[in-house]
Amino acid sequence: MGPDGPYAHGSWDNRQATNAKGRTPDADKWILRGNAVALVVDLEGERQKKPNLDKLQALVADDLKAVNEVIVQRMESPVALIPQLAGHLVASGGKRLRPILTLASARMCGYQGNRHIPLAACVEFIHTATLLHDDVVDESELRRGQASANAVWGNQASVLVGDFLFSRAFQVMVADGAIKVLKILSDASAVIAEGEVMQLMTTGDTATGEANYLEVITAKTAELFAAACRIGAVVAERPKAEEDALLSYGTNLGIAFQLIDDVLDYSAKQAELGKTVGDDFREGKISLPTILAFNRGNETERTFWRRTLEDMDQTDDDLAHAITLMTKHHALSDTVDRARHYGAVARDALGIFPENPQKLALLELVDFCIERAY
Predicted pLDDT of residue 164? 86
- Name the residue range of residue 254's domain: 51-371
- Same domain? For 277 and 299 the reply is yes
- Same domain? For 30 and 155 the reply is no
Number of domains in the chain: 2
- Which among 14, 33, 49 is the end of a domain? 49
- Same domain? For 43 and 70 the reply is no
pTM (two decimals): 0.83
Query: Contact, 228 vs 123, CB < 8 A?
Result: yes
- Same domain? For 15 and 106 the reply is no
- Same domain? For 155 and 106 the reply is yes
- Same domain? For 23 and 70 the reply is no
Intervals of the chain under pLDDT 70: 1-48, 89-94, 133, 135-154, 268-275, 374
Q: How many CB atoms lie within 10 A of CB 350?
A: 21
Q: What is the 8-class DSSP label of residue 79? A: S
Predicted pLDDT of residue 34? 41
Predicted pLDDT of residue 140? 63
What's the sign of the alpha-carbon dihedral 215, 371, 129, 208? positive
Predicted pLDDT of residue 243? 98
pLDDT digits (tens, 9 = 90+) for 112-149: 999 999 999 999 999 988 887 676 665 565 555 565 55
Separation CA 111–CA 104 (nearest Å): 10
Separation CA 96–CA 83 (nearest Å): 18
Residue 307 neighbours by CB under 8 Å, 6+ apart: 313, 314
- Same domain? For 328 and 277 the reply is yes
- Same domain? For 246 and 304 the reply is yes
CATH of the domain at 223: 1.10.600.10
Predicted pLDDT of residue 14? 33
Separation CA 57–CA 54 (nearest Å): 5
- Same domain? For 149 and 62 the reply is yes
- Same domain? For 266 and 184 the reply is yes
- Same domain? For 145 and 213 the reply is yes
- Same domain? For 235 and 363 the reply is yes
